[in-house]
Structure 1
Amino acid sequence: MIFPDITALLAQRFTVTAVEGAFQSYLTVEAGELVALCQFLRNDERLFFDLLACVTAIDNGVEVGTMEVIYNLTSIPYGHDLMLKLTIPRPVQTQQALDLEEVSAVVLPDVPSLASVWRTADWHEREAFDLVGIRFTNHPDLRRILLPTDWTGHPLRRDYQEAERYHGISTK
């Protein structure tokens, strides 16, 4: 099945917008429909996207005011691929929100977890949480995966400022 066919099939049930002409065509999706759409992509026998190959997150910066979560899906038996993109508002981090627990509670955007659809989402979502600061709701074990648990902030955010020292060790 080719991209226009997949788009037409999904547009009958979900709010999707096709973006073509980029390096890879993709569908923009709504956060409220993400889990149901992905369950359909996995379960519909015409599509059977059985592999979530990658989840990545991008911070577009304070000026743009958005963040993106990108999903790359593959149907191994049918040999077709699909990219989904979810754009969410980027919360502004305040100077008062300095410790990790406060940052997590106040300024992290929420995106539904796909760990119940594809088990591979578990670690991908943890990485996006750790490095970009996106909270995946209903994730079975959302905690840092690459950085120490007491690390402050999310290093792949555009406004991230690295601390001079971490536990007495110079970071620069």
Structure 2
Amino acid sequence: MAKVTNNELIELLGARFGDKITAVNEPYGLLTFSTTKDVIIDVLAFLKESEVANMNFLTDITAVHYPETKHLAVVYHLHSMVKQIRIRVKVFIQEQNPTIPTASGLWNSANWMERETYDFFGVKFEGHPNLKRILNMDELNVHPMLKQYPLEDPNRVDKKDEYFGR
């Protein structure tokens, strides 16, 4: 099997999804692009089933919180072991209603990755077979990776600069 290039993947995605593929760049050679939540499952399925892309391995699903814009980015990392290429797909969703369709129908491994992302960021994956916490306590009423809380107690005295000669 011949390797595929980032340019070939972008041309393939552009021909299939058009303006639904945005913010294309290649930080450190890793093809990265954004899409919308209404076509994310179609994009992921296309990348998995396409003979050219053959993204047969879901490496990770996570999220990034952008409190200044009130958005969360759900980030998918895919790997084609056959074509020897990796890509990153981002979907930006609203912080107030963090829902996105589940990818557990495409990859069984998405089940646990989505549960972890729900647990830490509060992203609700619609259609997930068992969306519940897996690492934090069930009675925890917050999602600890959201940047809504101060990092440290402002009343701590052991962090004052004068104690360190600054």
TM over 0.5: yes
Q: CA deviation at 1:19?
A: 2.5
Q: Which residue of 1 aligns with 2:62?
A: 56
Q: Which residue of 2 aligns with 1:7?
A: 10
Separation (CA, whole Å) in 1 of partners of 2:85 and 2:26: 18
Q: Confirm or deny: 8 A CA contact 1:18 1:25 kept in the other structure.
A: no
Matched, 1:69 2:74: yes
The amino acid of 2:38's aligned partner reads G
Matched, 1:142 2:131: yes
Q: Which residue of 1 aligns with 2:148?
A: 159
Q: Which residue of 2 aligns with 1:167?
A: none
Separation (CA, whole Å) in 2 of partners of 1:79 and 1:25: 13
Matched residue of 1:85: which SS?
A: strand
Matched, 1:32 2:31: no
Separation (CA, whole Å) in 2 of partners of 1:110 and 1:10: 24
Provide, for residues 111-163 of structure 1, a one-character-per-residue CA deviation record: whole Å limited to 9, x for no partner: 1110001111111110110001110001111000101111111000111479x
Counting only pairs closer than 5 Å after superposition, residues 72-83 of structure 1 correspond to structure 2 as 72-83=77-88
Q: Which residue of 2 aligns with 1:16?
A: 21
Separation (CA, whole Å) in 2 of partners of 1:83 and 1:47: 13
Separation (CA, whole Å) in 1 of partners of 2:45 and 2:26: 27
Separation (CA, whole Å) in 2 of partners of 1:141 and 1:9: 34
Runs of 5+ in structure 1 lacking a partner? 92-107, 163-172
| Cα distance change, pair 12–51 in 1 and its aligned pair in 2 (3 A) | same
Matched residue of 1:32: which SS?
A: coil
Q: Which residue of 1 aligns with 2:107?
A: 118
Provide, for residues 72-106 of structure 1, a one-character-per-residue CA deviation record: whole Å limited to 9, x for no partner: 10011111111101111211xxxxxxxxxxxxxxx
Matched residue of 2:76: which SS?
A: strand
TM normalised by structure 2 equals 0.82
The amino acid of 1:3's aligned partner reads N
Matched residue of 1:31: which SS?
A: coil
The number of residues matched between the two structures is: 145
Separation (CA, whole Å) in 2 of partners of 1:64 and 1:18: 17
Q: Which residue of 2 aligns with 1:42?
A: 48
Aligned-residue CA RMSD (Å): 1.6
Matched residue of 2:108: which SS?
A: coil
Q: Confirm or deny: 8 A CA contact 2:26 2:32 kept in the other structure.
A: no
Separation (CA, whole Å) in 2 of partners of 1:11 and 1:120: 27
